[in-house]
């Protein structure tokens, strides 16, 4: 019942002008920052590990800014699920989309490196409105929101959603068939299949899948970053330059390169990275858990 009520609330909110919805999201974020003590602590621990140069007051200010933009992204999901294509086209700007088209036209598989910024779902919709692509879909524990997320990601074009249980071969086949893969490799999925490489100077369990998928598929890696613009101005999706000399013959070096690039992108808009995730929960043997 609660899930249906929340879904109905999101449906009603999506009729609001984005500037108004942004104000509501900012207010909700400040409220959550006050009451969601467990998530607030995770965010502050992450910021302390990644930005030791900041003092406590600066980290708290950054954490509050994160909760505001995170809450905006949650409320604005309704726009992605129910707004008209015309409205979404007005709200999402994509810079560099021609880079993906040029690679596809040349018969090159495309692997989109998409870090966990809070606006990534809007970026996924913007990509889906332009290309028949593929992405990894994790089944949600709540059936109501699972249906909404699944349908939302398949609203436009012919989108292929792959479960995490499906083999790497399915992703490779999709890219070789001309579907860009929207790939999010920067979360802690545990020790299995991960390697430890630095992220903000801290050893982080990281999936080396970007290197391996690029090698198996012959794909070109193209970074894609989505920024939530201030004041309800919409979303800016940036498709970066294709990566040269990737992959190499060293999977660990490739994964270090990936994390270093993500770190640089995070420093450009640190409040918009997904800090509520326990990015450093898996530790090398003998290291204490920070959370």
The pLDDT, as a whole number, for residue 129 is 97
d(CA 261, CA 269): 13
d(CA 255, CA 212): 10
Residue 270: is its pLDDT beyond 80? yes
The pLDDT, as a whole number, for residue 232 is 87
The pLDDT, as a whole number, for residue 47 is 98
39-43, 129-133, 147-151: the lowest-pLDDT one? 147-151
The pLDDT, as a whole number, for residue 181 is 98
The pLDDT, as a whole number, for residue 165 is 72
DSSP one-letter code for 241: P
8 A C-beta contact, residue 181 and residue 133: yes
The pLDDT, as a whole number, for residue 139 is 87
Three-state SS string over 104-156 comes to HHCCCCEEEECCCECCHHHHHHHHHCCCCCEEEECCCCCHHHHHHHHHHHCCC
The pLDDT, as a whole number, for residue 231 is 87
Share of the chain above pLDDT 90, in %: 93
User: Mean of the per-residue pLDDT values for the chain?
Assistant: 96
Residue 108: is its pLDDT beyond 80? yes
Q: What mean pLDDT comes out for the span 153-165? A: 91
Domain boundaries, the chain: 2-272
Share of the chain above pLDDT 70, in %: 100
The pLDDT, as a whole number, for residue 116 is 97
d(CA 161, CA 219): 19
8 A C-beta contact, residue 193 and residue 124: no
Residue 167: is its pLDDT beyond 80? no
8 A C-beta contact, residue 116 and residue 184: yes
Residue 166: is its pLDDT beyond 80? no
Question: pTM of the predicted model, to two decimals?
Answer: 0.95
- Burial status of residue 209 (CB atoms within 10 A of its CB: 0-12, 13-18, 19 or more): buried
Neighbours of 33 (CB within 10 A): 21
Q: Which helix (H) or strand (E) holds 235?
A: strand 235-239
d(CA 285, CA 13): 47
Q: What mean pLDDT comes out for the span 193-218? A: 97
Three-state DSSP class for 204?
strand
Residue 140: is its pLDDT beyond 90? no
Q: How confident is the model at residue 248 (pLDDT cuts 50, 70, 90)?
A: very high
Which whole-number Å values give the CA distances from 159 to 54, 127, 190, 256, in the listed order?
A: 42, 10, 28, 30
Q: What mean pLDDT comes out for the span 112-141? A: 95
Q: What mean pLDDT comes out for the span 246-254? A: 98
Residue 256: is its pLDDT beyond 80? yes
8 A C-beta contact, residue 77 and residue 187: no
pLDDT digit string (tens) for 47-84? 999 999 999 999 999 999 999 999 999 999 999 999 99
């Amino acid at each position: 019942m609660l899930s249906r009520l929340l879904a109905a609330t999101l449906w009603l909110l999506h009729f609001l002008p984005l500037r108004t919805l942004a104000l509501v999201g900012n207010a909700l974020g400040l409220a959550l920052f006050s009451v969601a003590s467990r998530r607030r602590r995770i965010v502050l621990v992450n910021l302390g590990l990644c930005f030791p140069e900041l003092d406590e007051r600066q980290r708290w200010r950054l954490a509050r800014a994160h909760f505001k933009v995170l809450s905006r992204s949650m409320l604005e999901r309704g726009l992605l699920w129910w707004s008209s294509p015309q409205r979404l086209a007005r709200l999402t700007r994509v810079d560099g989309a021609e880079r993906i088209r040029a690679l596809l036209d040349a018969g090159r598989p495309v692997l989109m490196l998409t870090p966990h910024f809070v606006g990534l779902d809007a970026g996924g919709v913007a990509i889906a409105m332009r290309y028949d692509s593929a992405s990894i879909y994790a089944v949600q524990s709540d059936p109501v929101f699972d249906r909404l997320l699944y349908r939302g990601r398949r609203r436009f074009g012919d989108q292929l959603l792959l479960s995490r249980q499906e083999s790497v071969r399915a992703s490779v086949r999709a890219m070789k068939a001309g579907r860009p893969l929207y790939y999010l490799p920067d979360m802690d999925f545990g020790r299995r299949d991960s390697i430890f490489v630095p992220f903000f100077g801290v050893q982080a369990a990281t999936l080396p899948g970007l290197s391996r998928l690029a090698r198996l598929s012959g794909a070109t890696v193209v970074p894609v970053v989505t920024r939530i613009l201030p004041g309800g101005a919409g979303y800016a999706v940036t498709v970066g330059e294709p990566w040269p000399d990737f992959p190499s013959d060293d999977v660990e070096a490739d994964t270090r390169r990936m994390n270093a690039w993500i770190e640089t992108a995070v420093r450009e808009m640190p409040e918009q990275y997904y800090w509520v995730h326990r990015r450093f929960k898996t530790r090398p043997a003998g290291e204490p858990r920070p959370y």
